[in-house]
Structure 1
Amino acid sequence: MPKMKTHKGAAGRFQVGKKGRLKRRRAGHNHILEKKSRKRKRRLNTETIIHAHDEKKLKRLLGVR
């Protein structure tokens, strides 16, 4: 049986946390950042955790058990 290869696209986008949960960056943080009003601050610079129903597929892509 050949070894499982890591999906490099997924490896660049997701990281495994200390407790085994997957973390991702929030969307919409690359360009057109100055048009939003100052009153509505969006916390796009924080990382968030992947939902449980997507976690099984992503762990297989990353080669995590």
Structure 2
Amino acid sequence: MPKQKTHKGTKKRFRLTATGKVKHRKSGTSHLAARMSQKRKRNLRGTDTTATVNEKGIKRALAGNSY
């Protein structure tokens, strides 16, 4: 039987924590930040966890691998 391949786009965007939650970078941080308020920019720093609804599909796309 062939093995399940890792979805490369998902691999670049998500990581699994030790407890199995899915971490991702917050959207809206790459450019056009000059028009944002300082509060909004500050709140977009760091990583966030995904909604539990999306976790199953992301874990399937990662094929059991966490990068």
Normalised to the residue count of structure 2, the TM-score between the two structures is 0.84
Cα separation, 2, equivalents of 1:36 and 1:29: 10
Aligned-pair Cα RMSD in Å: 1.4
Question: Corresponding residue for 1:9?
Answer: 9
Q: Once superposed, which parts of structure 1, at least 4 consecutive aligned residues long, lie more than 3 Å away?
A: none
Cα separation, 2, equivalents of 1:37 and 1:48: 20
SS in 2 for 1:19: coil
Percent of matched pairs sharing the same residue: 38
SS in 2 for 1:29: coil
Q: Structure 2 unaligned segments of length 5 or more: list them.
A: none
Compare relative contact order (CA 8 Å, sep 6+) and give the higher one, 1 or 2: 2
> Would you say how many aligned residue pairs link Structure 1 and Structure 2?
63
The correspondence of residues 34-49 of structure 1 with structure 2, limited to 5 A, is 34-38=34-38, 41-42=39-40, 43-49=43-49
Q: Hey, which of these two has a bigger chunk of helix by percent?
A: 2
Normalised to the residue count of structure 1, the TM-score between the two structures is 0.87
Question: Corresponding residue for 1:32?
Answer: 32
TM superposition shift of 1:18: 1.6
SS in 2 for 1:9: helix
Whichever of the two has the greater Rg, that structure is 1
